[in-house]
């Protein structure tokens, strides 16, 4: 049984909004990064769903790319957060002001 495109879109939309909330509301850099990941995955789901619907393989290919990009992004982001934490002893994004 195939999941209909609508369901996939609803799921992706819900995940995306949750991601946004996570990024905007949480006062923690790590949680913000997680939110970003969730948003990326939401986009991937939408793409995969679209690929299924129109029988195009590009959607899945791009989803693969997104995974790769997400992996690098997370690693770099985490490294930066660790560095940031070492200097300031906090992971509060508002403390980033000094780092412009």
Nearer to other proteins, 28 or 60 (CB): 28
User: Nearer to other proteins by C-beta: 60 or 81?
Assistant: 81
Q: Which is nearer to other proteins, 17 or 64 (CB)?
A: 17
CA separation for the pair 65, 72 (Å, rounded): 11
Q: Is 32 in the site for other proteins (CB under 8 A)?
A: yes
Q: How far apart are CA 14 and CA 90, in angstroms?
A: 30
From residue 72, alpha-carbon distances to 6, 9, 61 in Å are 30, 26, 17
Q: In the complex, what is the shortest distance from the CB of residue 57 to other proteins, in angstroms, rounded to a whole number?
A: 28
């Amino acid at each position: 049984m195939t999941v209909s495109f609508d369901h996939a879109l609803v799921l992706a939309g819900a995940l995306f909004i949750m991601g946004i909330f996570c990024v905007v509301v949480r006062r923690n850099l790590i949680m913000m990064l997680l939110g970003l990941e969730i948003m990326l995955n939401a986009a991937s789901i939408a793409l995969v769903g679209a690929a299924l619907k129109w029988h195009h393989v590009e959607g899945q290919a791009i989803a693969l790319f997104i995974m790769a990009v997400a992996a690098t992004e997370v690693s770099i982001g985490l490294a930066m957060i660790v560095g940031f934490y070492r200097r300031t002893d906090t992971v509060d994004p508002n403390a980033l002001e000094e780092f412009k």
